[in-house]
A and B are shown apart, each in its own frame.
Chain A
């Protein structure tokens, strides 16, 4: 009996020493605990939708709305904290479709229009659609065990760096670490290493990492990834199908009493050039807003939204995201597109 107790004590002591050392190693690299922006977190935020009132706002879209609209600034100005459902690499159409068809929400939905994603596709087998749909499906199909797992994991995620679930070059899990081991180029992966350049909070507010502003080489790694995506032939946008899909849901939502605001967040340099070439404003954005007949805001139309700090051509730095949020809100409130609950 003593033999097994001895083994157990040794195992416990060595495990504690090993995991503490592992945690300290990552912290010594300047990495600290973060929350995982996974489907479970999205589902928790999505779950709040049915308790919202007509005065509430839901944000949806792809990474630009996620980075560029800051919830703290929004709450400071309007007195209400919006629900953030935007997500990177996602078409907003499946999100909007879910809210229109599977919830009783009749407030305001702010939809971010990143042209390359909004007008990309309605094909459920492609990434811009699969990604958001998997979140929606997870929300509707999650088991009680999965909900509990997520709640139990949050305190651990807040405390332990090595639990970070990044899958790419920044990954710390054993699987991600092994993936980085490379002996030769038996299979060539043309995609440059993609660093995670955001930090997410429990209400899914995203801020760009400070390092993106201070470390040009780091920001350049992200630019290299965007350049890689832009260098491929890629599928052409499917404007007709995407607009028809969105407009059908929009009519339903309006009929329920809901209100939609469309926002085109800033981009610059090579990214903007490609967007102008592939999805020109006149034939995409302008046509969308003329058919949607809703309040719509394009960053190009406002002097105060020009020349913001976009370290990797596509998303605003944390400081300028605060500024953008503030200025956009002023414009929208001035336009009566939004109500300032602090005043009213």
Chain B
């Protein structure tokens, strides 16, 4: 079920009525939320709920065993079971076709004629999110960083909680499970603020991403084109804005919906396009994934504890796998590799060319970071290397007589919107929507809210899927 759909409006309405009606105990409210979460997921493809159940049961069992088991080898086996099941799901459903394709290419290159039956595996929505979330519980249990969930119901709801089930934030057990232990109810303020965040998230998704930016990005990233400088940059900037508004919009909706139930979810984005460098970027973009990768991949790989070379290798491996997490394609690996390279170059700069960041050079640094990030989005968005390479050449003026595919209005629209986005991120760097709202007059806030709702209603959209659902 998509947040930007009528079925979700009905679904949320029913859930809220049942949640706040005084007919259920807290335990039964949680059962209702769990059932609602399965319905939320099953409305897309009911049989794939079974994967959620398997993941839940395996990690619940592994977590319970890890809570009482002292034998290190047995503890490792329980951890490995969890990783085998969760990563196995990912390997089969997400990377099965990709692995097979590459195996065929290798086999053919080696002279073996091998053409197996195409598997055409369906990608379960949000599989990368919930498998990472459940694994984090078991890994934390292994390292004794968290306590076991008190009941199976609490754990199952942690794995399946519908606001963040299919596209995060990837929440750690200690952040969410403990909230289920005591009855939760949003205050009037929280409920209204949650509704505002839901509107803001939908505005980002439906109006800004789908209505104002997506078609420009789609036009420019069609394969087989060699584009003009302006078209290539406009399309890349459009995608840059689209993916931010799409994903941050989802996270904002998720946080808002959870808040309407009295549950607090962590921030997933903090104005990333005004980041001062790439370490800063990854503290601001998809925070729940980057902190997951840092805690469960970068640090176990050695982090910065074993010298510079090992640290750079750990950084690069983390970013390459982070790229692969987004999709089963070599273009995502290049995207991750570029970010890994940026992070390494930044550390080298800090070591050999250190400088103080002031308010004067800060904006320039933020702009440079944003520009470099846009280069990486080309590989993220392009389906083939040829398309990406043609785009990069056009963006660097190497295709002087490239084709024009965008109207002047599209270029102005995208450049204006992305400029506003960048400047907004710059001024919001050290604050939050909540803080700004507290300083804003209720009339102005109400007018802004109504404009967003009005634009959502007249844009409506055709219920386009969130980009991150496919990851």
A10 contacts B443, C-beta separation under 8 Å: yes
CA distance A58 to B446 in the complex (A): 52
Return A159 CB to nearest CB of chain B, in Å: 13
Partner of B211, one of A38, A156, A178: A178
A186 contacts B458, C-beta separation under 8 Å: no
B454 contacts A19, C-beta separation under 8 Å: yes
A148 contacts B413, C-beta separation under 8 Å: no
How many A-B contacts are there with CB distance less than 8 Å? Answer: 130
The answer to whether the Cβ of A11 comes within 8 Å of any Cβ in the partner chain is yes
Q: Contact mask A119-145 → B, CB, 8 Å, 1/0?
A: 000000000000000000000000111
Which residue from chain B places its CB closest to the CB of A36 in the assembled complex?
Answer: B462
Instruction: Knowing A145-B5, A175-B211, A183-B412 are in contact, say whether A7-B42 is a contact too (CB < 8 A).
Output: no
A11 contacts B6, C-beta separation under 8 Å: no
Kindly list chain A residues whose C-beta atoms are within 8 Å of the C-beta of B7: 145, 148-149, 152
- Segment touching A, from B189-197, B255-263, B322-330: B189-197
Which residue from chain B places its CB closest to the CB of A145 in the assembled complex?
Answer: B43
Kindly list chain B residues whose C-beta atoms are within 8 Å of the C-beta of A175: 210-211, 215, 459, 461
User: In chain A, residues 170-193, which have Cβ atoms closer than 8 Å to a Cβ of chain B?
Assistant: 172-175, 178, 181-184, 186-187
CA distance A1 to B442 in the complex (A): 11
Instruction: Knowing A11-B446, A144-B43, A153-B6 are in contact, say whether A186-B192 is a contact too (CB < 8 A).
Output: no
Q: Contact mask B187-230 → A, CB, 8 Å, 1/0?
A: 11100110110000000000100111001000000000000000
CA distance A186 to B187 in the complex (A): 54
Kindly list chain B residues whose C-beta atoms are within 8 Å of the C-beta of A6: 442-443, 446
Which residue from chain B places its CB closest to the CB of A9 in the assembled complex?
Answer: B446
Instruction: Knowing A9-B446, A144-B46 are in contact, say whether A173-B458 is a contact too (CB < 8 A).
Output: yes
The answer to whether the Cβ of A331 comes within 8 Å of any Cβ in the partner chain is no
How big is chain B's contact interface, by range? 35 or more
Q: Interface centre among A5, A145, A181, by most B CB within 10 Å?
A: A145
User: In chain A, residues 1-25, which have Cβ atoms closer than 8 Å to a Cβ of chain B?
Assistant: 1, 3-15, 18-19, 22
A186 contacts B6, C-beta separation under 8 Å: no
CA distance A74 to B210 in the complex (A): 42
User: In chain B, residues 445-470, which have Cβ atoms closer than 8 Å to a Cβ of chain A?
Assistant: 445-447, 449-451, 453-455, 457-463
Return B238 CB to nearest CB of chain A, in Å: 13
The answer to whether the Cβ of A165 comes within 8 Å of any Cβ in the partner chain is yes
Instruction: Knowing A163-B460, A186-B408 are in contact, say whether A8-B443 is a contact too (CB < 8 A).
Output: no
Instruction: Knowing A149-B7, A174-B458 are in contact, say whether A18-B188 is a contact too (CB < 8 A).
Output: no
A4 contacts B442, C-beta separation under 8 Å: yes
User: In chain A, residues 86-142, which have Cβ atoms closer than 8 Å to a Cβ of chain B?
Assistant: none
Q: Interface centre among B210, B215, B457, by most A CB within 10 Å?
A: B457
- Segment touching A, from B95-103, B339-347, B399-407: B399-407
CA distance A14 to B447 in the complex (A): 7
- Give the secondary structure class of B's interface: helix
The answer to whether the Cβ of A162 comes within 8 Å of any Cβ in the partner chain is yes
B450 contacts A187, C-beta separation under 8 Å: no
Which residue from chain B places its CB closest to the CB of A162 in the assembled complex?
Answer: B458
The answer to whether the Cβ of B409 comes within 8 Å of any Cβ in the partner chain is yes
Instruction: Knowing A4-B192, A149-B463, A183-B412 are in contact, say whether A19-B211 is a contact too (CB < 8 A).
Output: no
A183 contacts B459, C-beta separation under 8 Å: no
The answer to whether the Cβ of B72 comes within 8 Å of any Cβ in the partner chain is no
A182 contacts B409, C-beta separation under 8 Å: yes
Which residue from chain A places its CB closest to the CB of B219 in the assembled complex?
Answer: A187
- A186-B408, A187-B404 known; 17 new pairs, CB 8 Å cut-off, are A3-B445, A4-B188, A6-B443, A7-B192, A10-B443, A10-B445, A10-B449, A11-B446, A12-B450, A14-B447, A143-B45, A145-B2, A149-B463, A162-B458, A182-B409, A183-B407, A187-B406
**Nearest 3 interchain pairs by C-beta:** A10-B446, A14-B450, A11-B449
Residues in chain B within 8 A of chain A (CB atoms) = 1-2, 5-8, 10, 42-46, 187-189, 192-193, 195-196, 207, 210-212, 215, 404-409, 411-413, 442-443, 445-447, 449-451, 453-455, 457-463
Residues in chain A within 8 A of chain B (CB atoms) = 1, 3-15, 18-19, 22, 38, 143-146, 148-149, 152-153, 156, 162-163, 165, 172-175, 178, 181-184, 186-187
30 contacts between A and B (CB under 8 A): A1-B188, A4-B196, A10-B443, A10-B449, A11-B449, A14-B447, A19-B457, A22-B458, A145-B1, A145-B2, A145-B5, A145-B44, A148-B7, A152-B10, A153-B6, A156-B6, A162-B457, A162-B458, A165-B462, A173-B211, A173-B458, A174-B458, A175-B215, A178-B409, A178-B413, A182-B407, A183-B412, A187-B405, A187-B406, A187-B407
